[in-house]
Amino acid sequence: MPKAQSKPAKKTSPPGKLRVFIADDHPLMRLALRTVINQQPDLAVCGEADTAHGAIQGIERQRPDVALVDLSLKDGDGLDLLKDLRIRCPDTKSLVLSMHDEAFYAERVLRAGALGFVSKNEASQRVVEGIRQVAGGKLFLSEKSKARLITKTLPNSQRREHLSPDSLSDREIEVLDYVGRGFASGEIAEALGLSVKTVETHRGHIKEKLGLRDAPQLVKYAFHWVQSRRKPEPKPVLEASSGSGRKRSPHRPR
């Protein structure tokens, strides 16, 4: 059998409907989303995947109008998938649907190429609204996230009090996460494939951006930040909760 061409024809769907591809690693979540989306008169699900690899293949094949992407997939980070989609499928708009904190991830998903963020705790109508908005090329964020982004455009003297981890780069966020979980610079370097000197440089940049005086203050800040993010996942409207134990191991934080 000959291999499929790189840009095959789109899958047939009702005319006039926006085509949506779902990338989420929870089967029940995909089922709930598919049901809600297909009930809309102007939307239709054209495909789904539970891995980043499967998603990029499916989206390249289907060329949907919108990709609905979870940040945690079976084989990788949803942020990396967003970056790939921005390059390989520029006509497909991306909307993030996640249990992660929007206040922390909003700017990161926008940098990666998404046009919006919706929490899995929100009502299904919010997801539907987000799909329609990003399909039209519009940003879709909560009012709080919009306000935070506006604050970042202010001069430093006016936004000093608003310093937070969202001012950090993705790599600096990874380092901060490891510091907060008790890893030393050598362990962080090994886990991320960096030199100890590079990790120390990142730590210095983090302290500077967050207004922290020294290493103990950085460790204290990082610890409380990590603890604040470790809260039980509430049962969302669209998904049944699923808990999983965590071990302290040098894996890449997601």
Q: What pLDDT is stored for residue 151 in this prediction?
A: 62
Contact 74, 50 (CB under 8 A): yes
Q: What pLDDT is stored for residue 247 in this prediction?
A: 44
- Looking at the DSSP bridge assignments, the partners of residue 15 are none
**70 located within any domain:** yes
Contact 202, 175 (CB under 8 A): yes
What CATH number is given to the structural domain containing 30? 3.40.50.2300
Do 142 and 173 belong to one domain?
A: no
Contact 22, 34 (CB under 8 A): yes
Question: What is the span of the domain harbouring residue 112?
Answer: 18-147
What CATH number is given to the structural domain containing 187? 1.10.10.10
Q: What pLDDT is stored for residue 7 in this prediction?
A: 43
Contact 113, 83 (CB under 8 A): yes
Q: For residues 83 and 21, what is the distance between their CA atoms, to the nearest angstrom?
A: 16
**47 located within any domain:** yes
Classify residue 226 as exposed, middle or buried by CB count within 10 Å of its CB (0-12, 13-18, 19+). middle
The 3-class SS string of the chain reads: CCCCCCCCCCCCCCCCCEEEEEECCCHHHHHHHHHHHHCCCCEEEEEEECCHHHHHHHHHHHCCCEEEECCEECCEEHHHHHHHHHHHCCCCEEEEEECCCHHHHHHHHHHHCCCEEEECCCCHHHHHHHHHHHHCCCCECCHHHHHHHHHCCCCHHHHHHHCCHHHCCHHHHHHHHHHHCCCCHHHHHHHHCCCHHHHHHHHHHHHHHHCCCCHHHHHHHHHHHHHHHCCCCCCCCCCCCCCCCCCCCCCCCC
What is the spatial order of strands in the sheet that 66-69 belongs to?
43-49, 18-23, 66-69, 93-98, 116-119
Do 165 and 132 belong to one domain?
A: no
Do 92 and 123 belong to one domain?
A: yes
C-alpha 151, offset from chain centre: 21
Contact 89, 66 (CB under 8 A): no
Contact 81, 23 (CB under 8 A): yes
Q: For residues 19 and 81, what is the distance between their CA atoms, to the nearest angstrom?
A: 19
Do 201 and 123 belong to one domain?
A: no
Q: What does pLDDT average to in each consecutive run of 10 residues of the chain (254 residues)?
A: 43 76 94 96 96 95 96 88 94 92 83 91 91 94 76 51 70 91 92 92 88 86 81 48 45 48
Query: Residue written as tokens 């210095």?
Result: 204
Q: What pLDDT is stored for residue 158 in this prediction?
A: 45
Name the domain boundary from 96, 125, 147: 147
Do 79 and 189 belong to one domain?
A: no
